[in-house]
Amino acid sequence: MFEFFRSVKMRYVAVSKQKYFWTAAIISAGILFSGYLVNFYASEFNDTFIYPSVGDSILDNIPTYNLEFLYVSGIYLLIIIILFYAFLLVPERGPFVLKTYGILLFVRGVFILLTNYGPPDGSFYANGVVPWSSIMQRFLFKNDLFFSGHVAIPFLAFLLFRGTNKFFEWFLLLGSFVMGVTVLLMHVHYSIDVFAAYFITYGVYAVSNEIFVRINERFFGWQGFCCEHKKSETVINIADKKK
The string of pLDDT tens digits covering residues 14-59 is 888 877 788 889 999 999 999 999 999 999 999 999 999 999 999 9
pLDDT digits (tens, 9 = 90+) for 59-93: 999 999 999 889 988 999 999 999 999 999 999 88
pLDDT over 70, % of the chain: 83
Between the two ends of the chain, the Cα-to-Cα distance in Å is: 13
pLDDT at 175 over 80: yes
With a cut of 50, say whether residue 243 has pLDDT above it: no
**Which pLDDT score is estimated for 18?**
78
Pair 146, 192: CB distance under 8 Å: yes
pLDDT at 238 over 50: no
36-73 in b/e burial notation, b at 16+ Cβ within 10 A?
eebbbebbeebeeeeeebeebeebeeeebeebbebbbe
The pLDDT mean for the chain works out to: 86
